[in-house]
Amino acid sequence: MSSQDSTPPPVPPIYQKPPLDPPPEPFPDMRKLPRTVFGRSDFVIITPDYEMVFPTVSMQEWKNLSEVNAFVQHIQNNHIDLDSEEVLSTKVGSREYYFVSIPTKNTSQTIQNYLLYFIDMTSLSHFVDQMNLVLGLIFIIAFVLAIFSGLLLSRYISRPIAQLTKFAKKIGERKFQPIPNQYKDKELYELAQSMNETAKQLDVLRQEETFFFQNVSHELRTPLQIIHSSAEGYLNRIIKAEPAMKSILQQVGKLTAMVSDLLYFSTMDSTKRKVDQEYLDVQMILKNSCESFLPLLKEKNIDIAYQFSQNSGLFYCEEKRITKAFSNLISNAIQHASSRIQVKCDMTENMIHISIENDGNPISDEDLPYIFDRFFKGKEGNYGIGLSIVKTIVEEYKGTLSVQHAGIGTSFSIIFPI
């Protein structure tokens, strides 16, 4: 056998069973984590007895070793539970940290050390404080602006209301001078416009009231002076008894008619309502009103003629008021007639047309538009409240009253709608 055959064969490698547990994963290098303006992350490994395993004291090159030592010392001094699974926070001096504790175990599942991940949240905390300060300042500024805007808005709204309130008080004090209407708001503009119109109407009523009392005092004074003069002349034997009594009775009649008209007019102004209304024959009321003046017509030698339509109709009205209107027109016609009065009444399905004509001197063109005004005086100087009463009554029943020349005299016309 050769020497080559005496070489022993190679020994096969011994089979080694792979370990059951995988090798422990290396700890992440927290220094490689991104650092932002809001916080800086880092880590430290300590034992259950709060002794630092990594980094060690000998690692002077560790940039924030003093900060890590202070952090671990604070954890130890406060005996913070390292087995907590929650994210914890703590404050070390002037710095604020958030951290989490992760236990590291060996193959026998025994806790050896604790890995603490911590983030310096001081910058973020300062940012939050600054944001709270800024938000607080914004809130204060917004609050001040809101109050200022509210004051301006309230002044913008309340100023015109205060002006209108002051104007209303002036109206209550009988000062009816209108105010300039320069309001841009639609409601305030309409309110001011309405108040101005009311002030104008009240001013007209005030002037009419003043004019009314002036004329009443004048109209009452004249008959009273005549009565006084006639009575005094009779007592002093200057005037005989018959003419004195005749003059006194004539003036008393005028006063009675005037006072009656004034009382009736006052009643109409205070109660604008229709009472005791019923369907009545207007032609019958008109004829009865004319016949009540027969003694006066006979005394003045005035003839009265009737011209009534064959159609008879009923009109819903109050008899007293319609009679008063007819009587005033007939009395006015008798006062101005020379010898004749004509009364017409034409009734259709839709209207009642009444006219009373006299043959006296016609009313002048200058006086014609004003004869229905209260206390208007024409050339003859007679007070005009009677015709004003007629106009008011006719208008209450939606009728129209007009006057025009009729031949040599004057004609008054009334139209009532049915």
**Cα separations (Å) of 8 from 2, 4, 13, 33, 60?**
13, 10, 15, 59, 58
CA-closest candidate to residue 411, choices 324, 347, 337: 337
Distance between CA atoms of 145 and 161, rounded to whole angstroms? 24
For the stretch 354-393, pLDDT in tens is: 999 998 888 777 777 778 876 666 655 455 677 888 888 8
pLDDT of residue 40: 65
Long-range contacts of range 198-201, CB-CB < 8 Å, 24 or more positions apart? 198/171, 199/167, 199/171, 200/176
Mean pLDDT in residue range 129-144: 92
Give the lowest-confidence range in 97-101, 192-196, 208-212, 251-255. 208-212
pLDDT of residue 109: 63
pLDDT of residue 5: 52
pLDDT for 123 beyond 60: yes
Q: Mind giving me the DSSP string for 381-402?
A: ----HHHHHHHHHHHHTT-EEE
| pLDDT class of 29 with cuts at 50, 70, 90 | very low
* Residue located via tokens 């005394």: 299
CA-closest candidate to residue 174, choices 204, 149, 217, 140: 204
CATH classification for the domain delimited by 30-120, as one of 3.30.450, 4.10.240, 1.10.3470, 3.90.550: 3.30.450
Superfamily grouping for domain 273-417: Histidine kinase-like ATPase, C-terminal domain (3.30.565.10)
CA-closest candidate to residue 168, choices 192, 137, 151: 192
Mean pLDDT in residue range 289-312: 88
Distance of CA 198 to the CA centre of its chain: 18
Half-sphere exposure of 372 (CA within 13 A, CB side): 17
Locate 61 and state its tokens. Answer: 């090159």
Tell me the domain boundaries of the chain. Answer: 30-120, 186-267, 273-417
Report the relative pairing of strands 278-281 and 303-308 from DSSP bridges: unpaired
Mean pLDDT in residue range 220-233: 84
pLDDT of residue 414: 93
Count of other CB atoms within 10 angstroms of residue 321: 21
Mean pLDDT in residue range 340-351: 89
Distance between CA atoms of 269 and 319, rounded to whole angstroms? 18
Give the lowest-confidence range in 95-104, 163-172, 195-204, 214-223. 214-223
Distance between CA atoms of 311 and 383, rounded to whole angstroms? 37
Long-range contacts of range 56-64, CB-CB < 8 Å, 24 or more positions apart? 63/31
Q: In what order do the strands lie in the sheet with 52-54?
A: 52-54, 40-46, 111-120, 95-105, 88-92
| pLDDT class of 61 with cuts at 50, 70, 90 | low
CA-closest candidate to residue 167, choices 140, 129, 202: 202
Name the architecture of domain 186-267: Orthogonal Bundle (1.10)
Distance between CA atoms of 223 and 231, rounded to whole angstroms? 12
| pLDDT class of 35 with cuts at 50, 70, 90 | very low
